[in-house]
Structure 1
Amino acid sequence: MRSLMARRGEEPTLEQDYAHCQAVQRAHGVSYYFATRFFPPETRRAVHALYGFVRYPDQWVDCPDAHSSPESIRAQLDAYERDLIRAVCGEPVSLPPLRAFADVVRRYHIPLRYPLEFLDAMRMDLTRTRYATFAELQTYTWGSASVVGVMMCYILGAVQPDALHYAATMGLAMQMTNFLRDVGEDWARGRVYLPQDELQRFGVSEAQIANGVVDDRWVALMRFQIDRCRALYAEAEQGIPLLPREAHYPVLLGGRLYARILNAIERNDYDVFRQRARTTHAEKLALAAATYYEWRYNITTNRSASRM
C-alpha cells in the first residue's frame, strides 16, 4: 500500500493523504466504498481516512509477508500506535492514513480510546485464536468492529448513547458476517472465530472445518449464525433515525449491502470453503435503487402522517 507520491519530490499534502485513503478503500473495501459515495463530500473524506487507518493494521495481521512474525507484527502495531498519538498531537509522521486520520480525530473530537481499542483487538489476533462463547467473542469484536461504528458516529455528529449503541451493533453485525464468509480463510490462518460452545451444540468439529465438510450439521450451524446476524442488522437499523438526515441513506445502504453477503452464502449452499460469498456490481446497483426507494417512501409516509 504505497502512498500517492507528491509531485516533483514535494512533501505530500493533507489532500494527498486523504486521496491515498480513498484509493485504499476503493481497492479493498468495495461494498463500503460503494455506500460511502453517498455521503456529503466532507463526511466522505473522513470515512475514507477512517477506513485507511483500520486497513493497514488489519492487513499486517491477516496477510503478513513471508518475513513477518507475531513479534515483528506486534512491534509494527506498537509503532503505529505511537505514531497515531504523535500525529494527533500535531507531530510529523510518515504514513498517509495516520496523517489523514489524525486530522479526522481532531476535527470530529473522536476520543483516542476508540482507535487504541481497535489496535488492542489487532494485537489479540496475534495470540488469541479461539473464543469459548459469543459473549467472549465480543471482547474481540468490540475493538475490531464496534468501535469503528462508534467512531463513525463522531464523524456524523451523533454521539448520544443510543446512537453509539446501535452503531456498535452494526459493527458487530458486519464483523460476524465477515467471520461467516471467511471461515475457510481464517482456518488457514489458524483462527476459529465461531464460538466453541456453538460448534459443539451443532456437532461441528474443527476437523470438519479443516476438511471443508458441508453437511446437515454445518448447514444448521450456518443458518443459526445467519439468523443472528440478520437480527443484529435489524436492531442496528433502529438507530439510523438518530443520525443526521444526510447520513440515513448511505448508512442504511452500507448495512444492507453487507448483509447481502449472507444471501450469497445461502446461494452457495453454505459452502464458505470453496466459494467466496460476494455480491456483483449489478446486485449493488439494484439494492441501492431499492433501498433508496424504501428510504424515500418512509420519509414521505412519515411526513404525511405527521401532518394528519
Structure 2
Amino acid sequence: MLPSRRFLPSLSLLSAFEAAARAGSVTAAARELDLTQSAVSRQIKALESQLGVELFLRERQTIRLTVAGESYAREVREALRRISSASLALRANPHGGTLNLAILPTFGARWLAPRLGKFLSSNPGITINLVTRIAPFDFRLDSIDAAIHFGQPMWPGGELTFLMKETTMPACSPEFKATHDLTEPADVLKFPLLHLTTRPDAWERWLTHCDVSHETVNGMLFDQFATAAQAAKAGIGVALLPVFLIQDELRRGELVPAIDRAIESNERYYLAFPKERADYPPLAAFRKWITKEIEADANAQLG
C-alpha cells in the first residue's frame, strides 16, 4: 500500500531539491533544470512546507543542507535514479521484459556472455542488462532482478537456484613449468603463488587437501581471475584457477597444470534473486535457460 499522498511530493519538487542539494546552489540547479532561480526556490520551499521540515540553511546568497536535508537528499537521489533506470529500460524494450542481472566478472565474460545470444534468440522481447558485482548486496537497495552468486548457499532476503560446482587446479605457463621443478604438491611453495582477494584461503585449502604442511602462503594478490590468469600466462607464478574458466587457455597451450591435482571447491555457483521476483517472466525464462545450459555442458563433458 502506498503512503498517504501528502507524503508523496511531486517529481518536480523532488528534482528541484535534489539538483540544489547536489550542486549546493539554487542558481546551478536552475540552470540544470532550465528553470528560473525563483522557480527553483519556490519549489524547494513548497517541498519544505509539505514535509514540515527545513531542508536547507540559507545564509545570505548561499544554501547549505541541514542534517535532515542531507539524509533526505541521499534517499531522494537513489529514488530518482531508480525511476530513471526503470524508465530507460521501458523505453529500450517497451514490448518485452527487462532483466537486470549482476554478474561475476570472469564468469560473465568467459562463460555467460558467449552464450547469451542463444538465450536472446530463443526469448525475443527480453532484454538483459548486465552489471558487475563482486560482493553480495541487498536486493532491496539495488535495482537488480538477479545475481550470479559464488559461495555458500545463503543470501539474506533472497532465494537461490543451484547452478554448478567448481573444480580448481594450479596452473602456470608451459615455459614456467619447463624451467621450474614442479613435481609434487609441496613444490609450489618454492615459487610465487598468485592469490585472489575474493578467495584468500584458496591456496591453504588446496595445500591441506594435498597433505602439504604450511605456515604462511605468500604471493601476489589479484582482485579478478582474468588478471591472475594473465599473470600466470606471463610466467609470473602459479595461479589456482577454476578449470571451466580457463578451458580456452588450456586448449591453446597457454596454460598447463603446474601440478596435476585438481580439487572441488567448497563453494558453489547459484542464481540469486529476491523472493518476490521469482515469477517475474524474464527471470523465470533466464533461470530455466541457464540451468539447462549448464546441464548440457556437464553432459557434454561426460560424453
**Bucket of the pairwise TM-score, normalised by the shorter protein:** under 0.3
Tell me the TM-score normalized by structure 2: 0.22
Asked which structure has the greater RCO (Cα within 8 Å, sep 6+), the reply is 2
Structure with more strand by fraction: 2
Higher Cα radius of gyration: 2
Structure with more helix by fraction: 1
Tell me the TM-score normalized by structure 1: 0.22
